[in-house]
């Protein structure tokens, strides 16, 4: 539980600062520090439970079927990383309070920072690797927000986008890799994965999985060739760089390698990929760092180089190298964070980060200068500081490994060269920023620079103090922490090692001395010719390649979008149909035999005549579609044939429904036609018609094939259940109606809701428009003066009571015989429409003051309430009940709650159909009476 709090507190706390945004600089900072501090103390309190590689885990099931659980784990390795995240995080919170000016959105900044902190903690504390991946993605997103915090600047927007593209691209690869890993290991829980190392490395998918996972780690940790996003991320505010780009985010990739080390390392693939990538990055980063003019750019490349060093250590084939890797992770986090902070102070106080303009700052800010000098020396690996210890270990390991056979010497030599360069750029940093007396500080944007407030220096003070303490007394300070973490990362016993300062005069020390001396020589002796050479090099920036690729991608997508999404419904429709054809066609491709084993029923003349008429009418609709009234007539004949077909094939309910719907639809179509053009112009080209014809024939053919293939095959139905239970459980013998109002009542409730929504939508859509009405009728004849023919009027009045009686009859018998709420509702609708047509809207409305909107609403409420009543009896929603009553004279009457439900259906159907029709009719002639 306490473990979960470590992640949850910063996560929940991240909403606080943004809410306190108005409270000046202090309040958001305090609000951010409190959850982080509590989490920090919880973390420390758990330390005592982590002896001997023990792990604390908690687990809540989440999406079990996917293997995704909310399970957390803390062991030595997670503890170390969480300690860095929270410890440096707290210092950065303090630092940022002084770094940011009060005009900036400080609350937002701290919220992002806490979100990022929570995500990082999630990454290092996840037991479930899928969960870890979720947090991993959140770190990418929140770092995007942080890098782009100064969103008014184009370089920070670009830097943020680049970082997001690279790291989330790597995240995708990692997702694939993790899925493979889980597949191979049989579980997504780390405790399971870490013990299945031998099975994992022997699996045929192992190389693929390894490359994918390493892609994720390398992009995050800025390894060559994905390193270029890191220098551009320096557009972020310096506290962000100090946090993300020294101690946390870029270490996520390192953490991943350390974490999965027992499971996926130990193979040749691992050693070669990891060590060579690390070696390249190490050399490239340190060389590039030397030539940077921007203070933060120098630190960024230096970070790349140190990350390469750690990666290289993980790639070496000795156990000890992993210990060194973790040790260097700790040291790098301390000295690099303090260096970034010092760089931020310089930027803040002088207004520039350009090394060519800085110089001689020691006189103005001796305290800051001292901090930066000590941290830089630690970075360079000068004795008595922590950087020296891990560098000695590193150099020692490069001599121990045996990866490259005859070319084994390459690794120690390149490492020494890289260290030499590290010394050179560290000296350059110290000299050009603080000690160079030749520079003229009065040309600085802010002159004279002075020391920042005490509390702004405090975080760097603490970190530098740590550098010195660790450097002097490694065993007493970090010894146990390192052992704790390294033991977990190795997944086995620790090798013998000692953290002492002095190991005697040995080869690593000689390499160190060469590097230190060479670095000094390089800077003071060969700086100028080297810079001249560098400036003459072609300006081949990875950024330009990236930007070029991005722009090309954007152009491609724009082109694609324009081609596909051109705003034409016809185009979309055609594309969708092509998709349907492809998908269904390819699925049917496997069908070996079209005709199934079931024999066809014999053809009888009447049915075939009906089918032929149906075909003929539907083709006629197409042929006559330009003359719309004729097309409506043909389509209604088709509808009629469909309802006859239902009647023919044992579906009386469907036949009745189709018939009444057909009547209402036809009236609606004619009514709508009144407001629309009566003819369709001929405008499609022959080519377009040919394409559409092909598509149509394709779709039709596919449907035919599918229908034929299905109809000639045997099938199993679940219908027997309904047939058996209909009478006994629901008290109705019309099974279709029983299914609608009882067994599947919930579906029906949804359907009538849709119906009512359509009615309301029609109402809303017609609101406020007055359609233009043609002066003359079809064929150019003037409108008939007598709008309501007498014969029709009289007939309609006679018919209305009869039709209503029929609908009541149909409704009542629905449970037992064909009929029911849907059909009765449609019959009532048809009868009322007839009144509107015959006598006009005003006349009918005056005599039949029904509010159809309310009617539809009541219908749904009634149906819903019937369902709710079941709750009163402790039954599930929509459970029905029925009973038989014997009333004298009338006889045996059955009362079923389903009948009430059906009444709701009835009301909704009548309400929404008439809402549509009557409203459409009335919108035609707002001041006069009905139109049709």
Partner 1 sequence: MELLFAITLGVLTASGVYLMLRGRTFPVVLGMTLVTYAVNLFLFAMGRLSTGGAPIIGQSQMYADPLPQALVLTAIVISFAMTAFVLVLSIRAVCELGNDHVDGEGQ
Residues 858-897 that bind partner 1 (CB under 8 A): none
**Contact present, 910 and 756 (Cβ < 8 Å):** no
CB atoms inside a 10 Å sphere around CB 588:
13
DSSP state of 389: H
Among the residue ranges 215-223, 359-367, 666-674, 881-889, the one whose residues contact partner 1 (CB under 8 A): 666-674
Q: To the nearest whole angstrom, how small is the minimum distance from the Cβ of residue 631 to partner 1?
A: 6
Least separation in angstroms between residue 932's CB and partner 1 is 14
Sequence length of the chain is 932
The answer for residues whose C-beta is within 8 angstroms of residue 923's C-beta and 6 or more apart is 766, 769, 770, 771
Angstrom distance (rounded) from CA 742 to CA 881: 10
- Decide whether 57 or 607 has the Cβ nearer to partner 1: 607
Residues 6+ apart with CB under 8 A from 640: 659, 662
Within 223-282, the residues that bind partner 1 by CB under 8 A are: none
Residue with tokens 């040749």: 268
Closest CB to partner 1 among 117 and 917?
917
CB of 747 to partner 1, least distance (A): 7
Query: Six-digit token pair at 921?
Result: 């009719």
CB of 909 to partner 1, least distance (A): 7
When the beta carbons of 544 and 562 are compared against partner 1, the nearer one is 562
Pick the stretch among 335-343, 374-382, 530-538, 762-770 that binds partner 1 (CB under 8 A).
Answer: 762-770
Encoding tokens for residue 208? Answer: 């693929």
Q: Which of residues 826-865 bind partner 1 (CB under 8 A)?
A: 826
Q: Which residue has the tokens 């609709």?
A: 621
Alpha-carbon distance of 163 to 359, in angstroms, equals: 32
Which residues 508-567 are close enough to bind partner 1 by CB under 8 A? 567
For the CB of residue 901, give the shortest distance to partner 1 in the complex, in Å. Answer: 14
Neighbours of 825 (CB within 10 A): 31
Q: Is 597 in the site for partner 1 (CB under 8 A)?
A: no
Min dist. Cβ of residue 264 to partner 1 (A): 50
Per CB under 8 A, the segment of 268-276, 316-324, 483-491, 636-644 that binds partner 1 is 636-644
Q: List, in order, residues 6 or more apart from 430 with CB less than 8 Å away.
A: 372, 373, 376, 377
Q: Which of 42, 469, 542, 645 binds partner 1 (CB under 8 A)?
A: 645
Answer for which of 187, 408, 816, 879 binds partner 1 (CB under 8 A) is 816
Closer CB to partner 1, 151 or 568, in the complex: 568
Which parts of 722-751 interact with partner 1 (CB under 8 A)?
722-723, 726-727, 733-736, 739-740, 744, 747-748, 751
Choices 180-188, 233-241, 323-331, 617-625; region in contact with partner 1 by CB under 8 A: 617-625
The distance of closest approach from Cβ of residue 203 to partner 1 in the complex, given in angstroms and rounded to an integer, is 44
Q: Which stretch binds partner 1 (CB under 8 A): 159-167, 199-207, 621-629, 834-842?
A: 621-629
Q: Does the protein bind partner 1 through residue 614 (CB under 8 A)?
A: yes
Q: Give residues 566-595 in contact with partner 1 (rule: CB under 8 A).
A: 567-570, 573-574, 577
Residues 670-689 within binding reach of partner 1 (CB under 8 A): 672-673, 675-677, 680-681, 683-684
Q: Which is nearer to partner 1, 168 or 712 (by Cβ)?
A: 712
Which position has the token pair 């992002």? 112
Segment lying near partner 1 (by CB under 8 A), choices 31-39, 152-160, 760-768, 831-839: 760-768
Measured from the CB atom, is 733 or 883 closer to partner 1? 733
Instruction: Tell the residue number behind the tokens 């309609």, with chain if given.
Output: 796
Q: Least distance from C-beta 343 to partner 1, angstroms?
A: 58
Long-range CB contacts (< 8 A, 24+ apart) of 406-415? 411/275, 411/279, 411/312, 411/316, 412/511, 414/279, 414/282, 414/283, 415/279, 415/282, 415/309, 415/312, 415/511
Phi and psi, residue 8, nearest 5° = -70, -40
Minimum Å gap between C-beta 602 and partner 1 is: 7
- Name the 3-class secondary structure at 102: coil
Q: Which contacts qualify for 635-644: CB closer than 8 Å, 24 or more apart?
A: 635/669, 636/662, 636/665, 636/666, 636/669, 637/613, 638/614, 639/665, 639/666, 641/610, 641/611, 641/613, 641/614, 641/617, 642/614, 644/610
Region of 12-20, 468-476, 478-486, 635-643 interacting with partner 1 (CB under 8 A):
635-643
DSSP annotation of 65 reads G
Q: Is 754 in the site for partner 1 (CB under 8 A)?
A: yes
Q: Which of 139, 165, 897, 916 binds partner 1 (CB under 8 A)?
A: 916
Which residues, 6 or more positions from 240, have their beta carbon under 8 angstroms from its beta carbon? 113, 146, 147, 149
| Stretch of 346-354, 366-374, 616-624, 796-804 contacting partner 1, by CB under 8 A | 616-624
619 belongs to the binding site for partner 1 (CB under 8 A): yes
d(CA 656, CA 246): 76
* C-alpha–C-alpha distance, residues 521 and 526, integer Å: 7
According to DSSP, residue 766 is labeled H
Question: Binders of partner 1 among 691-710, rule CB under 8 A?
Answer: 692-693, 695-697, 699-708, 710
Tell whether residue 398 is a contact of partner 1 (CB under 8 A): no
**Euclidean distance between the first and the last CA atom of the chain, given in angstroms as a whole number:** 72
Does residue 478 touch partner 1 according to CB under 8 A?
no
Only one of the segments 93-101, 179-187, 316-324, 654-662 lies at the binding site for partner 1 (rule: CB under 8 A); that segment is: 654-662
Select the span of 466-474, 533-541, 668-676, 842-850 touching partner 1 (CB under 8 A).
668-676
Per the structure block, which two tokens stand in for 469? 């303490």
Answer for which of 156, 311, 378, 635 binds partner 1 (CB under 8 A) is 635
Of 184 and 755, which CB lies nearer to partner 1 in the complex structure? 755
Which residues from 50-69 bind partner 1, rule CB under 8 A? none
DSSP 493: P
Asked whether position 602 contacts partner 1 by CB under 8 A, the answer is yes
**Closer residue to partner 1 in complex, CB, 368/908:** 908
Smaller CB separation from partner 1, 734 or 807: 734
Rounded CA gap, 501 and 517, in Å? 20
Q: What CA–CA distance (Å, rounded) separates 85 from 87?
A: 6
User: Measuring CA to CA, how many Å separate 449 from each of 359, 364, 374?
Assistant: 11, 6, 21
Binding mask 147-186 for partner 1 (x = CB under 8 A): ----------------------------------------
Residue 93 CA to residue 210 CA, distance in Å, equals: 37
For residue 21, the 8-state DSSP code is T
Specify the residue, 134 or 651, whose C-beta has the smaller distance to partner 1: 651
The count of residues interacting with partner 1 (CB under 8 A) is: 113
Q: Which of 611, 850, 858, 861 binds partner 1 (CB under 8 A)?
A: 611
Smallest separation (angstroms) from partner 1 to the CB of 594 = 10
| Maximum Cα–Cα distance across the chain | 122
Q: How far is the CB of 554 from partner 1 (least distance, A)?
A: 26
Least distance to partner 1 from the beta carbon of 896, Å?
15
Distance of closest approach, residue 626 Cβ to partner 1, in angstroms: 8
Helix crossing, 507-536 with 410-430: angle to 10°?
70
Q: Quickly list H helices, 203-267.
A: 206-220, 229-232, 238-242, 249-264
Stretch that binds partner 1, among 66-74, 94-102, 390-398, 650-658 (CB under 8 A): 650-658
| CB-nearer residue toward partner 1: 603 or 887 | 603
């Amino acid at each position: 539980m306490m473990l979960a709090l470590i992640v949850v507190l910063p996560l929940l706390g991240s909403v606080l600062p943004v809410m306190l945004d108005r409270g000046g600089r202090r309040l958001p900072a305090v609000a951010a520090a409190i959850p982080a501090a509590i989490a920090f103390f919880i973390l420390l309190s758990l330390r005592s439970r982590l002896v001997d590689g023990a792990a604390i885990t908690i687990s809540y099931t989440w999406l079990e079927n996917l293997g995704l659980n909310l399970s957390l784990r803390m062991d030595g390795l997670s503890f170390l990383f969480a300690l860095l995240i929270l410890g440096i995080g707290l210092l950065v919170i303090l630092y940022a309070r002084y770094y940011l000016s009060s005009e900036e959105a400080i609350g937002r900044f701290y919220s992002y920072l806490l979100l990022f902190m929570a995500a990082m903690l999630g990454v290092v504390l996840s037991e479930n690797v899928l969960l870890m991946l979720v947090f991993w993605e959140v770190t990418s997103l929140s770092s995007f927000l942080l890098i782009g915090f100064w969103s008014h600047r184009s370089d920070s927007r670009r830097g943020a986008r680049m970082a997001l593209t690279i790291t989330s691209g790597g995240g995708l690869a990692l997702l694939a890799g993790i899925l493979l890993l889980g597949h191979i290991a049989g579980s997504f829980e780390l405790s399971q994965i870490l013990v299945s190392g031998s099975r994992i490395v022997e699996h045929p998918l192992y190389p693929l999985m390894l490359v994918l996972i390493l892609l994720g780690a390398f992009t995050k940790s800025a390894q060559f060739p994905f390193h270029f996003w890191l220098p551009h991320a320096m557009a972020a505010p310096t506290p962000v760089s100090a946090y993300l780009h020294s101690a946390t985010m870029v270490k996520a990739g390192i953490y991943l390698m350390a974490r999965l080390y027992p499971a996926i390392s130990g193979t040749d693939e691992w050693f070669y990929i990891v060590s060579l990538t690390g070696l390249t990055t190490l050399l490239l980063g340190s060389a590039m760092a030397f030539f940077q003019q921007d203070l933060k750019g120098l630190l960024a490349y230096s970070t790349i180089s140190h990350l390469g060093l750690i990666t290289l250590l993980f790639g070496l084939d000795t156990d000890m190298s992993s210990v060194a890797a973790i040790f260097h992770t700790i040291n790098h986090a301390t000295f690099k964070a303090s260096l970034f902070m010092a760089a931020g102070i310089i930027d803040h106080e002088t207004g520039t980060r350009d090394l060519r303009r800085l110089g001689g700052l020691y006189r103005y800010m001796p305290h800051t200068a001292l901090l930066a000098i000590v941290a830089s020396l630690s970075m360079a690996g000068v004795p008595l500081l922590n950087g020296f210890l891990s560098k000695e270990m590193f150099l020692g390991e490069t001599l121990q490994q045996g990866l490259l056979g005859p070319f084994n010497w390459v690794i120690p030599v390149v490492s020494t060269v890289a260290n030499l360069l590290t010394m050179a750029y560290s000296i350059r940093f110290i000299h050009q920023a603080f000690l160079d007396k030749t520079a003229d500080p009065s040309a600085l944007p802010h002159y004279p620079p002075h020391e920042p407030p005490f509390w702004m220096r405090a975080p760097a003070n603490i970190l530098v103090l740590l550098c010195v303490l660790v450097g002097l007394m490694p065993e007493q300070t970090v010894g146990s922490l390192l052992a704790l973490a390294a033991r977990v990362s190795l997944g086995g016993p620790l090798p013998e090692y000692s953290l002492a300062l002095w190991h005697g005069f040995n080869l690593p020390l000689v390499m160190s001395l060469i590097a230190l001396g060479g670095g000094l020589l390089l800077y003071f002796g060969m700086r100028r010719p080297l810079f001249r050479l560098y400036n003459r090099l072609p300006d081949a920036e990875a950024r330009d390649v990236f930007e070029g690729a991005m722009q090309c991608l954007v152009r491609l997508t724009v082109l694609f979008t324009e081609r596909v999404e051109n705003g034409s419904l016809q185009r979309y429709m055609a594309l969708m149909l092509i998709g349907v054809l492809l998908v269904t066609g390819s699925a049917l491709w496997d069908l070996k035999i079209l005709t199934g084993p079931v024999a066809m029923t014999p053809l009888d003349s009447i049915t075939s005549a009906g089918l032929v008429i149906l075909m003929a009418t539907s083709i006629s609709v197409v042929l006559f579609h330009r003359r719309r009234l004729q097309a409506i007539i043909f389509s209604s004949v088709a509808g009629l044939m469909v309802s006859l077909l239902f009647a023919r094939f044992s579906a009386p309910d469907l036949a009745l429904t189709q018939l009444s719907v057909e009547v209402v639809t036809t009236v609606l179509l004619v009514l709508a036609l009144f407001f629309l053009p009566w003819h369709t112009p001929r405008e499609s080209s022959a080519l377009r018609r040919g394409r559409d014809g092909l598509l149509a024939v394709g779709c039709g053919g596919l449907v035919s094939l599918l229908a034929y293939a299905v109809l000639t095959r045997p099938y199993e139905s679940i219908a027997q259940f309904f047939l058996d239970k209909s009478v006994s459980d629901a008290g109705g013998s019309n099974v279709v109606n029983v299914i609608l109002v009882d067994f599947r009542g919930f579906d029906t409730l949804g359907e009538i809701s849709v119906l009512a929504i359509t009615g309301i939508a029609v109402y809303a859509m017609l609101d406020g428009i007055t359609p233009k009405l043609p002066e003359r009728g079809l064929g150019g004849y003037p409108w008939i003066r007598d709008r309501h023919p007498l014969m029709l009027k009289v007939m309609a009045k006679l018919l209305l009571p009869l039709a209503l009686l029929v609908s009541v009859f149909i409704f009542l018998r629905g449970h037992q015989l064909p009929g029911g709420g849907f059909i009765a509702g449609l019959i009532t609708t048809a009868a009322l429409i007839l009144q509107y047509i015959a006598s006009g809207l005003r006349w009918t409305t005056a005599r039949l003051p029904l509010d159809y909107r309310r009617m539809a609403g009541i219908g749904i409420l009634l149906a819903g309430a019937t369902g709710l009543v079941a709750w009163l009896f402790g039954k599930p929603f929509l459970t029905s009940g029925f009973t038989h009553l014997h009333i004298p004279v009338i006889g045996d009457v059955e009362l079923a709650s389903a009948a009430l439900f059906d009444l709701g259906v009835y009301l909704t159907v009548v309400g929404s159909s008439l809402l549509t029709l009557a409203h459409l009719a009335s919108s035609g002639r707002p001041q006069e009476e009905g139109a049709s």
